[in-house]
Structure 1
Amino acid sequence: MTEPIVDAAPALDFDLKRLPKVSLHDHLDGGLRPATIIELADAVGHVLPSTDPVALGQWFRESADSGSLVRYLETFDHTVAVMQTKEGLARVAREFVEDLADDGVVYGEIRWAPEQHLQKGLTLDEVVEAVQEGLDAGVAVVEESGRQIRVGQLITAMRHADRGQEIAELAVRHRYNGAIGFDIAGAEDGFLPSRFKDAFTYLAEHNFPATVHAGEAAGLESIQSALVDGRALRLGHGVRIAEDISVEFEDADQDSDDDAEDTVGMVTLGEVAGWVRDRGIALEICPSSNLQTGAIANFGEGIENHPLDMLYQLGFNVTINTDNRLMSGVTLTEEFELLVETFDYDLDDLLELTLNAAESSFLPLDEKEALVEYINDTYANLA
């Protein structure tokens, strides 16, 4: 991981929204604007819990904040329902890019599952093309405003379905039309990546990168399967890799000044955790979402118990993401603010986390280096 070039972090006395950000884990169907959902739902005759934008947004947040991944995923019934036409998909994608840019994101990888958007007769290729049309339109709007952003599609297969090979072929087929990577998502527990072993082999044979949801609702077995069967270059969430880390505390010498007894911890990484850390496999951690879905329940109830800080301090390739902006009611700026408030992170920390994401992106090397340089230069100008 590239070392930040900022020598000393200034005080965080400015709007963090100004910082250039990289978003690697952000679901298209989890980032709709409530007002857009209402308009699109009316057009297709879909019944919503509320037709008031504020109340609907609140409903999504409350429903997602249940501590259950299953119930969290149920909220997508309403967003997916309004993303079944070319017009709906293109609009959602365009607004998604605009919202990313408003959050300070300069590079975003947007994941979504084409197989969930065929209810009105569109083909897999047509839905991918519709989303790309919207993404291109969003980029154009951002550039017209004097800002810059680049985005790409992470084509996703639903892990409880049996269309992995078909979706992998779809992703490769659109590699020159916006598709930059592959993923599997949905209910993780009970659906190991090994179900898609042949599809992942196909992707590898075509030199197409994959990130795999693992280590959220399921633990080390899921992560191991993502690494072995999925050939994952990144882990979607991956937060439960911390279950393969043990910390034993022992008393240190008495402090002569205050007679208080300190403790020191001996950290031991298991084989899976060691492999992930030592090879720089990126963890796409989503702090607020992890708290909502119960992904960090084994570590404690509050955000202060999230193991991301331990992972970061131990040298894991930690990246920070939003997962689903609508359901979690967050932006990447707010996730950064949460880290500053909870773990006392400064600009050096935020820069390193951002560089981790940039270097773990699926961009070609020359474009990745240009992105890293831009981020470093922007931070340096803050000093």
Structure 2
Amino acid sequence: MSETVMELKHINKFFGSTQVIHDVNFKVQKGDFVTLLGPSGCGKTTILRMIAGFYEPDSGEIHLAGRQIERVPPYARNTAMVFQEYALFPHMTVFENVAYGLRVRHTEDSVVKKKVGEALELMQLLGMEDRYPNQMSGGQQQRVAVARALVMQPDVLLLDEPLSNLDAKLRESVRVELRSIQQKMGLTTIYVTHDQQEALSMSDSVIVLQKGFLRQQGKPHEIYFAPRTPFVADFIGTTNLIKVNGDDALLVGYDEDTVLQADAVCPKGEHTLSIRPESIRLSEKPSPSATDNIMPVTVVRSMFLGEKMRYFVQDRKGQEWIADIFDPGRKIYEGEVYMLFAADRTHVIEEDD
């Protein structure tokens, strides 16, 4: 059974008269990698800083490792934070940067040497102990910042967009290393990013925020394939959001000629469906299976993206759809075609934004 390491209960935060966090509640299980995801200004870093102790919530409770901490000073919380700018001391060597927190705790020199050595080995920094930050690459500085956090053996590791200053290729490789280390150590981690791919590829659980509201928490595949609101569906990757009229059955009305099957019952009234572009197939002939939705469409334009061809097609209502065809070969669809997508990939959005 999973053990809850951290819980936020009814957290609210104001900056002046502006409320920036609205009644946020979530739990973090021991050893999980949890990502706070959302656009700039949605409250991700504010929540992380409240957990670290740099901000106090105006109301609500934060529980960590069995104690309530929202009024506990940062140094007494046993959390460790890695900042976007790394915040390394330029006048200190790698060894002294990593050892800094242990020194503040008045840890014995022999223990400092042992723990710092272990952290440097884990982050593949052995041999760089005497270097200064300005003598290192961005990726190496990022590793030093993580090593400095790891030596503190925190109850929870907090990461505030630590890869944003790296180039795309290095960012991907460090992402894999960071996740591997986290899993190896079983370290409970809360990670902040606005990068959807980063969140989906690294996380055990993703929390999607919008304007200070928690819109959804779940496993990456749940967030992606079963979004609860139009915002979540549209923010996580690319999707087709389609308005339909339900009729208390699995069949939902799209237009007078087309009835769509969805993954859930659509009660009477207007609803929104989410269909991912990669769930759509194109065909020159109507040959659906029993679970397929099928619609005649017209190809408006297409884009070759290497591993896939992206088509923009228009149905008879004038609604534009996006369809991604992977491994397209030399086949290019033009003009009138049929669009097919399975009922279990046609997701009914539960809530409005």
Answer whether TM exceeds 0.5 for this pair.
no
Greater CA radius of gyration, 1 or 2?
2
TM-score by length of 2: 0.31
More helix by share: 1
Structure with the bigger RCO (C-alpha within 8 Å, sep 6+) is 1
